Chain A
Amino acid sequence: MTSLTLVRRIAARPSIVFDTLTSPEGIRHWWGPDAGPVLIAETDVRVGGRFRVRFRMLDGSEHESSGEYLEVVKPERLVMTWQWQNGEDPGESRVDIRLRPIAEGTELTFTHSLLANEETRRSHEEGWTGALDKLVRHFVKDSAPEWVA
């Protein structure tokens, strides 16, 4: 529950997927929740290097996030911190992307997680997320939050 995991199977080799994930040119083609444009895409793809991306949504609102690359293992793994610039969802979170070669190309496993405190991490390891998810979904099935809080 403290993290979101998504998996995509992509008909492209891992090195191409990795470049698409990290190059400013690649980022301009895919970053953002809708078809609005990417306005700024800067990356310094090495451990300790930073990224900064600003995009405009179709409703006209602009959002910017930045972070630091914590792990860069081309073409297998990319870990970075994540922070919004304008105070929406304050605090830092973490993005972890793994690329695995498969027959058709690449399996991408993406995880975005809150930076958990010790107790949260421990309970996470106990594997309670499924039960919690069920409980939460029961209560919030009618809610449809806006993108911007």
Chain B
Amino acid sequence: MVNYQDRLNVTFSALGDPTRRAILVRLEREDGVSIKDLAKPFAIKLPAVMKHLDVLSDAGLITRTKSGRTVTVRISPEPMKAAMDWLRRYERFWSASLDRLAAYAERLETKARKKGQ
């Protein structure tokens, strides 16, 4: 089994670069962009863009399909869903736990004050 946490770290690492995030934001707005079009807004050269696309592809965040001489890039949100699931799972656990912790500590505080402590 592939380590779930390793996978999450791969996702977070891939998302940890401003150029790669800019690429994803664009792909989120437009369904299917050619690599040439994708590279246009950036001040970096095409090979550098290709490297970023490799990282995103390895993390499963994009797919590339070739048709003739054009490679089209699309976003693939599944890994981001896994990252979000991790977050929500712990949010549910801790949010409920901390609410009860606060209520219990407040009861103890009231008791301590009644005892004049």
Contact = CB atoms under 8 A, between A and B. Distances in A.
Q: From A2, A6, A92, A149, name the one whose CB has the most chain B CB atoms within 10 angstroms.
A: A2
Interface string B80-97: 110111111111111111
Given A16-B112, A91-B6, A1 B100 contact: no
Q: Which 4 A-B pairs have the closest CB atoms?
A: A123-B16, A91-B5, A12-B109, A139-B77
B42 interface: no
Given A6-B98, A132-B15, 20 more contacts: A4-B91, A6-B95, A8-B99, A8-B101, A12-B105, A12-B109, A16-B109, A20-B105, A21-B101, A26-B101, A26-B105, A30-B100, A32-B93, A120-B9, A123-B12, A135-B28, A139-B84, A140-B77, A140-B80, A147-B89
29 contacts: A1-B87, A10-B105, A13-B109, A16-B108, A16-B112, A17-B105, A21-B101, A26-B105, A30-B98, A30-B104, A90-B3, A90-B4, A105-B106, A110-B94, A112-B94, A114-B8, A119-B16, A120-B12, A120-B16, A123-B16, A123-B17, A126-B18, A135-B15, A135-B28, A135-B80, A136-B84, A139-B28, A140-B80, A143-B85
Contacts of B108: 12, 16, 19-20
Contacts of B15: 1, 123, 128, 132, 135
A132 to B, nearest CB: 5
Interface of B: 3-6, 8-9, 12-13, 15-18, 21, 24-25, 28, 77, 80-81, 83-106, 108-109, 112
A145 B28 contact: no
Contacts of A122: 16
B interface majority secondary structure? helix
Contact of B24 (A10, A19, A116, A135): A135
B30 to A, nearest CB: 14
Given A12-B109, A90-B3, A139 B80 contact: yes
Contacts of A135: 15, 21, 24-25, 28, 80
Given A34-B96, A143-B81, A112 B105 contact: no
Contacts of A103: none
Contacts of B84: 136-137, 139-140, 143
A80 to B, nearest CB: 13
A105 B105 CA distance: 10
